[in-house]
Structure 1
Amino acid sequence: MDRQTWDRRRVSFGAVAQLYERTRPGYPAEAVAWMLSGVRPGGTVLDLGAGTGKLTRALLADGFQVVAVEPSAPMREALSAAVRDARVLEGSAEEIPLPDGSVDGIVVGQAYHWFDPELANPEMARVLRTGGTLGLVWNVLDERTGWVALLGQELDALDRNSSLSGRSVADELGAAFRPAEQADFRHVQRLTVTDLLDLVRSRSYVATLETPERDTLLRRVETLVLRNAPVDGHQVLALPYVASTYRATRR
């Protein structure tokens, strides 16, 4: 993917903030607990690239003090409307608006692949205290299920920046962090066929398509789902995910 396309996709989420909030899955409690197992109860955790607060809510439920940093104004507005107990700040991974060593943990949900690691990794190390924990998580379609594999193939044909896209998280974080550990946590999102189509619309590589191409894709996805997915009488289906999760300790 060229830099211009990457930049356009990176800033595309503001236009689909409400779709993102309504249709994107949350994160399994087990994944959040594993990521932050080294952070004391009540500690301060930075949710970086917080989006609409999908991960912020899980952090608050676990009793952490949360600072949510997000560059997109529409995403921050959706976050603030949905989550009342977090401190919400404008900022980015490359310029975190916090003092040195001010947080006990950092988590990044579905966003690290949009960071510039040469700038973001030192910034994360700067604001994270020594011995603090960095956690990264992606919800990835669980393609062990046949119809989900077909859906994945349809979307992969467009996606040139898949969440892990050949990047080695364990090797990329740099000398400030100990080697990363990785674990998978499986979970299921229940949603209607209409919601699934809106979820597809919320993806950056779909949101940035021209309207005719996007409409054609959505018709193909709808046909694929109705022909292959087990849909109940209310047109609700179960979409399985793997929460691919990493954690690393600040040296």
Structure 2
Amino acid sequence: MIIQTNETIDLKTPTGLMRCHIFRPVAEGKYAAVIFYSEIYQVTQPIRRLAAYIAGQGYIVIVPEVYHEYEPLGTVLEYDKEGTDRGNCLKFEKPISAYDSDANTVIEWAKTYEHCNGHIGTMGVCLGGHLALRAALHSDVKAAACFYATNVHDSTLGQGQCDNTIHRLNELKGETMFVFGRQDPHVPFEGRIQIQQALHKAEASYEWHEFNAQHAFLRDEGPRYDAALFQTCMELVIRLFGRNL
């Protein structure tokens, strides 16, 4: 499926303009939308390629710039120490309320987008895995694919490092999918057990996958990338969205 990858829109949020990058099929018709949350570096080339892959399966993929309050629109942080330090700093500086208002803004906009059929899903990696899960607390989100979601098990996302995501899983209306690498130091075994127990207690509809992989194994730059596992995970994503969206 041929897609277009150069569309952006700047949405007004309670905390300022948020640029969203849109990847979608060029063929006429209406498609389900997937709000895709990036890692701490914002919309890097690996994130763009992953968004394009999902769009090529017949979805509108909307990638918000998660740190729009703190960086000029269009900013991409580098995969180096400076970029990592900046991304991690902003992850804890931004209030949870701002993450939530961003999600509400883009979800409400997506429902009115002329190419969208009204069905909404979320997806994310790293920080974005947590944001995809938190956005899925919105009643209009029908499915969420959360890859190696950080700071869920210890409730430390956002300003004050005291988010409540793990305690609100009973609010999930759609199906969620969690994928973790067993060698990921950011979400240890004990943390993964905490998340799964919370999902069970909430009687959530979810699927759970763990692989022998490191953190950020989907990122097709750097030594952690696992191409075979990438293919396996994309099949899981397409099945999740196919049955829900």
**TM-score, normalised via structure 2 length:** 0.35
Question: Which of 1 and 2 has greater Rg?
Answer: 1
Q: Which has the higher contact order (CA 8 A, sep 6+)?
A: 1
